Amino acid sequence: MIRKIFAITSILFITSCAELQQVVDSLPDQTNGILSNADIGAGLREALDLGIDKQVSKLTQKDGFLNNQLVKILLPEELKKVDKGLRDIGLSKLANEGLKVLNRAAEDAVGEATPIFVNAVKGITFNDAKNILLGNDNAATAYLQAGTKSALYAKFNPVIKNSFAKVGADKVWSNIITKYNSIPFVKKVNPDLTDYTTNEALKGVYTMIAVEEKEIRNKVGSRTTSLLQKVFALQD
């Protein structure tokens, strides 16, 4: 009985995959001006560029991270006990400032590093653009993230480090850690906040690019160029 169920399930899965591939294969290649895989890739890049221009730019505004619940940087697990420890001894204001400056550093760094993200989009090659076009609402963003995150981290990390100093986050957190480590009987901490904030800020960037991709995929009015209109009409 179990074998029969498994066989039926497998047949249904293979059939659905075959149907999806038929849809993909039915998208026209470039003949007499019809869109090619390269054209679709160009449209996907344009959608990602719009994500940077319209959505990532919001992160560079004052409290662009702090007031955006999609990307707000929270304290890592290691620092939650630091936060509680400071509040327990009446230093809530300092604890609040610590969270704020983490988000301010990310905000400043994204503003400085926007050209890095733009170049990453320009350099990405969509080898299977048709399948990505027919994928999930964030398929192009996920493809970008998979192909660029390591390289972007290496470029973005020093920008975050500079932003820490620029907004005074390094001094605030040095003060926080010193005060916490002076509390009797606590286990001392020495977190790498530059690494943590770099990863969280990058996560925020990809999240906001995905917001715009979803808009373009689901709202015809968000397709503001002829290329976007032609490309994403194929997935409707």
> What per-residue confidence (pLDDT) applies to 15?
43
Helices (H) and strands (E) in the chain, counts: 10, 0
What is the DSSP secondary structure assignment for residue 53, as one 8-state letter? Answer: I
Q: pLDDT tens digit string along 148-192? A: 999 999 999 999 999 999 999 999 999 999 999 999 988 899 889
> What per-residue confidence (pLDDT) applies to 33?
54
> What per-residue confidence (pLDDT) applies to 4?
40
pTM listed for this prediction: 0.83
User: How far, CA to CA in Å, does 192 sit from each of 60, 73, 161, 223?
Assistant: 23, 15, 11, 41
For residues 33 and 21, what is the distance between their CA atoms, to the nearest angstrom?
Answer: 23
Cα end-to-end span (Å), the chain = 40
Q: Are 218 and 211 in contact (CB under 8 A)?
A: no
> What per-residue confidence (pLDDT) applies to 236?
85
> What per-residue confidence (pLDDT) applies to 17?
45
Q: Which residues of the chain have pLDDT under 50?
A: 1-32
